[in-house]
Structure 1
Amino acid sequence: MSLHKYFENLSFVDYFHLVVLFFLFYVIKFYYKYFTRPNKLPGPLPLPIIECAYCFRGDTKHLFVSLNKKYGDFYEIQLGGYRRIVLSRPEHIEKFYNNSTKHVKFMPRAPFSRGLKELLMGGKGLQFSDDFNSWKFNRQIYTRAILSPNFNNEAIKWSYLLFEELEGYWKSLGLANSDGEEWTLETDFSKWFQRFTNDMVVVSTTGERSYSMGTYYNTLSPIKALYPDALIEDSDRFVKGMNQIVVGAALFLFLGPFIRHYVPFIRGKANEILKHRDFIFEKLDKIIQKRRQEIEVMKNKDLKNDMLTSLIIANTERDVNYKKTVGEETMPDIEIRTNIFGAFAAGTDTTANLFCYITYYLCHYPEVKQKMLAEIDSIFPQNSSIQLTHNDLSKLKYCEAIIKEVDRIIPVSNILARYSSEPFEVGGYQWPAGTLFNFDIVSLHRHKDYWPCPEIFDPNRFFLDNKNESYLNVKNDDLKDDNNGHNEKKDQKVGQKYSFIMFGSGSRICPGRKLAIIELLSLMVYVFGKYDVELIDMEAPLKTKSSIATTCLELMVRIRPRNQ
């Protein structure tokens, strides 16, 4: 009897028995593999199909912090089809960062991910490439673009211009609710600065303006910003889309394809994120094509100093470093798009959220705020015109210490990952190639063995430490392909080496860290140097949601011009 005939003769009960038999076989195989795994570590028991997803309640920070409290600094969890070894001690993490860029053992952040492939990011660009030569090529071009003096001078200029625009919106809203020239405004800082950093990152990376601050202003005021409706609508969709992708990325990294595709609520969220991705990628493709045409027309003219232009002309005759570059490979559009998108994802919400957390802690620690204001006023006297320069920003040592301490207390990035392509020893165990490691940044930054009174907010941890280096001192030479692949001296942090990794470390250290610090310092000078800022409800806890990053959902403040 043929197989087809055999199945035709089966009854419903027979089919049911077959399904049960196959499921039992799968369960037995699943648990045999689990209980015979090498290097058994403590951790939650995985279940068939859903693995440890039953531990995940939608908040990544809460997940890993709770597991750390229960299982310690060295445990495992099975999510997204992979066994993840979770670490939160500096001496374990150090092993991953003390590697040359010539050594590819820990170059990948993660193994091939079906989730990232669904997001059209897997294996592409600087952040997601799993090929060492491709990553190295992207890194050299990307770093050259973002760390150039012209790029950072443009960033300082645009921070000034965009804050002037923001001030105009605040004043308009404040005066609308006041009787005279003196005004006060109660508003949500998180909404404003998500849009400020979006406009900042868009213009500094692509050279194109977005108007998401104007979009938000139009929702609050009967007097509308004078921008075309299409620009306003696109800017609004763009910033909301980026926010949704950053918040929802954990669905694609930590949950398997079965859950994403078939569990009703999660399937709907995943599909919504993919729609936002399609819109953003379509916009980026149009911007890239438009810039290529502009470059072609401007044959003998000076080009823009944005990242997009630098990525397009890299290793061509328009590139000032052309003669110094080995080879003549140029970056394809799909890599450019992924790199620009990575800059948006890493530089928009992260910077905006960190500035909101800085505001929250300054309002709760008035003595820290007064010391910060004294430093700002010593460089930029009150009632004088504030014209920032790179040299001025480099003098704000206490302000930078505040930034670092806030990120230690509430890291914007919760989890970092490394994937070993060779056997490796860590924690007294020999791990086979193909092991996925996750670094729990929240638990690391608050580890009681390395940080005295870790729950206490104290910027002096960084301000008074002689080894503390400024991220503003980053230069192109710091990321050349040398013996370490980065400036090892800058990794000597307070507490213990690698107990604080705000921007990561090693060859994968964030290349945009200098831009982030420029933005944050500029905002601290402009906002707190010019305005009195206080929380409307001092008793209200921070409203956040954590995926790969921790997002500020709301921060209600009251602002007024200083010395009003």
Structure 2
Amino acid sequence: MFSIAALTICLLFGLLYLWYKAEKRKYADLDKLPGPVPHFFYGNALEFGNNIVESFNNIERLFNTYGPLLRIWQNGLKLSVFVVNPNIVEYFLSSNVHIKKSAGYDLYQPWLGQGLINNAGEIWRKHRKILTPAFHLKVLEQFPESFHKSGEVLIKKLKKQEGKDIDIYEFIILYAMDAICDSSMRIDVNAQETGDTTYIDAVKRFLEIYLTRFFSFFNKYEFFFQFSPKYKQYRKDIEYLQSFTSSVIEQRKRERIANLDEEETDEFGRKKRRKVFLDILLDSNQMTDQEIREEVDTFLFGGHDTISSTISFGLFELTRNPDVQERLFEEIESVVGIDKDEPITLGHLNEMGYMDRVVKEVFRLYPAAPLIERELQEEVIVDGLKYPKGTTISFHLYIQHRRSELFPEPEKFDPDRFLPEYVASRHKFAYIPFSAGPRNCIGQKYATINTKITIANVLRHFVLQPVEPAHKPILANDAVLKSMNGLLIKLKLR
């Protein structure tokens, strides 16, 4: 009896070993790529460290060690290819087949469900088609009005901080909440006036946990994570974030009913304002209440967190580059005039060529989403290497944008690298701050307009100065590029 049991166990282990070897053989070609030596069970999971700062720095170290195309074993059986080579980046991001995000994005689902960030296939195509009109030029023309309204409050708050060393991010993120809710939801949340950071803090905690789970061998699985001491707060934060979004939707529904006639036409019978993001969702008749909430969750997250980081990094860089700041101020004043309170329009922005280059340089050095991923939907062969179906392709925008062969003197803040002659000489996929191809960021025009107008409005009122001693940001990725020690600047009224 014992011998039969022992034989059965040996047979099972033998079959398991054969299965393991067969799974490993799928990646035989990709295993030839440079990369750290993996453990047979947990792969290279320990390469990333224990927190988001370590993870960010260690990924950069891996690229510096192994080059622009490297392989990382997520565990003993799952392999990722990390790439910052624009030729290979173009191959995958331009594909209409490989549009599925990696399994890591599933960690967003408890909060964002099947919003645009992590759905795929027909659901993604349907929702993208519904939402595209929300970013039409005629809708975009309304955004500056909202940015000006929220910007007036920002300037008022900043005037009280003149001469002090401040973390500009703390002010910009509240501005971004007001701006996204007013411009795309037509809801006043008055985040700047109340100083209420409950929503912002909940997002911050969720994202810190998200990235920790993303690079963790055990905690990425719900079964193990539920035993974490952070799990209870994590579930509480998700419940709050979703209830906040639901309250925004219900408030907009009530206001649409109460102000329907006033909202639709002016005294001459002309439409006063076109529908915005939330109105388009509510009027689509093609989405369930849950689907609407998930897309609003997604856009609220993307519309305040990514933009606030970008604007803050931009203002910080201007303190370190006073020549750029002065040239930019002169352009703003020549286009808009000397009246500091004159609203900036899309027409004004179209005349600001230097502003366009400055903002592109901010996006280059500080891409809001520094790491994006895709999961291959079918086997492909690229440069003679077989990439099996299910392989994860990881694109590190932050590192790619700082490669000297793509951008000479990459650490230098140089807006003129976006002059037409330099742009024409670069690979078209060298610069991809909003991803590229069919799954590029739907909100990139919103982000660009908001960033330009906010930077312009701050510069019209203040000279931006560095703090002493010089502040050095500690960068990390919690799904959005952040400075963990803030972005300290000093303001001087013009």
CA distance in 2, matches of 1:368, 1:88: 29
Q: Percent identity?
A: 20
CA distance in 2, matches of 1:91, 1:270: 41
Secondary structure in structure 2 of the residue aligned to 1:357: helix
Indicate yes or no: 2:234 matched with 1:273: yes
**243 and 211 in structure 1: CA distance in 2 versus 1, 3 angstrom threshold:** farther
What residue number does 1:482 align with?
none
**275 and 387 in structure 1: CA distance in 2 versus 1, 3 angstrom threshold:** same
CA distance in 1, matches of 2:429, 2:355: 22
Q: 1:467 touches 1:494 (CA, 8 Å); kept in 2?
A: yes
Secondary structure in structure 2 of the residue aligned to 1:210: coil
The aligned runs of 1:66-465 (5 Å cut-off) are 66-79=61-74, 82-99=78-95, 103=96, 105-111=97-103, 115-117=107-109, 119-121=110-112, 124-130=114-120, 132-150=121-139, 152-171=140-159, 173-174=160-161, 184-216=163-195, 235-258=196-219, 267-295=228-256, 302=263, 305-314=275-284, 330-462=286-418, 464-465=419-420
**242 and 112 in structure 1: CA distance in 2 versus 1, 3 angstrom threshold:** closer
**215 and 63 in structure 1: CA distance in 2 versus 1, 3 angstrom threshold:** farther
Residues 58-96 of structure 1: per-residue CA shift (max 9 Å, x gap): 234323211111221111213388421111100001112
CA distance in 2, matches of 1:417, 1:457: 27
Q: 1:109 touches 1:128 (CA, 8 Å); kept in 2?
A: yes
Q: 1:247 touches 1:549 (CA, 8 Å); kept in 2?
A: no
What residue number does 2:28 align with?
38
CA distance in 1, matches of 2:230, 2:352: 42
Indicate yes or no: 2:485 matched with 1:557: no
What residue number does 1:325 align with?
none
Q: 2:319 touches 2:464 (CA, 8 Å); kept in 1?
A: yes
What residue number does 2:269 align with?
none
Q: 1:241 touches 1:276 (CA, 8 Å); kept in 2?
A: yes
What residue number does 1:318 align with?
none
Secondary structure in structure 1 of the residue aligned to 2:390: coil
Equivalent residue for 1:515, pick from 438, 441, 446: 446
Residues 326-352 of structure 1: per-residue CA shift (max 9 Å, x gap): xxxx11122211211211222212111
Residues 129-148 of structure 1: per-residue CA shift (max 9 Å, x gap): 12x22111111111111335
Q: Which runs of 5+ in 1 are unaligned?
A: 2-6, 8-13, 175-182, 217-234, 316-329, 469-492
**How far apart are residue 405 of structure 1 and its match?**
1.3
Q: 1:404 touches 1:459 (CA, 8 Å); kept in 2?
A: yes
**How far apart are residue 254 of structure 1 and its match?**
3.3
Q: 2:211 touches 2:477 (CA, 8 Å); kept in 1?
A: no
Secondary structure in structure 1 of the residue aligned to 2:482: strand
**25 and 70 in structure 1: CA distance in 2 versus 1, 3 angstrom threshold:** farther
CA distance in 2, matches of 1:537, 1:242: 31
Secondary structure in structure 2 of the residue aligned to 1:425: strand
TM-score, scaled to structure 2: 0.86
Higher mean Cα deviation, 41-50 or 517-526? 41-50
**How far apart are residue 403 of structure 1 and its match?**
1.4
Equivalent residue for 1:501, pick from 432, 442, 445: 432
Q: 2:141 touches 2:346 (CA, 8 Å); kept in 1?
A: yes
Secondary structure in structure 1 of the residue aligned to 2:73: strand
CA distance in 2, matches of 1:262, 1:302: 49
Question: What amino acid maps onto 2:243 in structure 1?
Answer: E
Q: Which runs of 5+ in 2 are unaligned?
A: 265-272
**339 and 466 in structure 1: CA distance in 2 versus 1, 3 angstrom threshold:** farther
Higher mean Cα deviation, 428-437 or 30-39? 30-39
**How far apart are residue 286 of structure 1 and its match?**
2.9
What residue number does 1:547 align with?
478
**How far apart are residue 192 of structure 1 and its match?**
0.5
Secondary structure in structure 1 of the residue aligned to 2:298: helix
Q: 2:281 touches 2:287 (CA, 8 Å); kept in 1?
A: yes
**521 and 274 in structure 1: CA distance in 2 versus 1, 3 angstrom threshold:** same
**How far apart are residue 362 of structure 1 and its match?**
1.5
What residue number does 2:267 align with?
none
Secondary structure in structure 1 of the residue aligned to 2:34: coil
CA distance in 2, matches of 1:246, 1:408: 22
Indicate yes or no: 2:24 matched with 1:63: no
**73 and 384 in structure 1: CA distance in 2 versus 1, 3 angstrom threshold:** closer
Alignment: residue pair count = 476
Secondary structure in structure 2 of the residue aligned to 1:187: strand
**259 and 268 in structure 1: CA distance in 2 versus 1, 3 angstrom threshold:** farther
Q: 2:379 touches 2:389 (CA, 8 Å); kept in 1?
A: yes
**How far apart are residue 552 of structure 1 and its match?**
2.6
Question: What amino acid maps onto 2:130 in structure 1?
Answer: I
Secondary structure in structure 2 of the residue aligned to 1:502: coil
Q: 2:367 touches 2:397 (CA, 8 Å); kept in 1?
A: yes
**56 and 265 in structure 1: CA distance in 2 versus 1, 3 angstrom threshold:** farther
Residues 13-40 of structure 1: per-residue CA shift (max 9 Å, x gap): x9xxx99x99999799757744663311
Residues 142-197 of structure 1: per-residue CA shift (max 9 Å, x gap): 111133523x23321111111211222233x34xxxxxxxx534322011111111
Q: CA RMSD in A?
A: 3.3
**113 and 198 in structure 1: CA distance in 2 versus 1, 3 angstrom threshold:** closer
Question: What amino acid maps onto 2:278 in structure 1?
Answer: L
Q: 1:398 touches 1:459 (CA, 8 Å); kept in 2?
A: yes
Residues 218-256 of structure 1: per-residue CA shift (max 9 Å, x gap): xxxxxxxxxxxxxxxxx4211111223334322343334
**How far apart are residue 521 of structure 1 and its match?**
0.8
**How far apart are residue 540 of structure 1 and its match?**
2.3
Higher mean Cα deviation, 105-114 or 426-435? 105-114
**378 and 300 in structure 1: CA distance in 2 versus 1, 3 angstrom threshold:** closer
**How far apart are residue 275 of structure 1 and its match?**
2.2
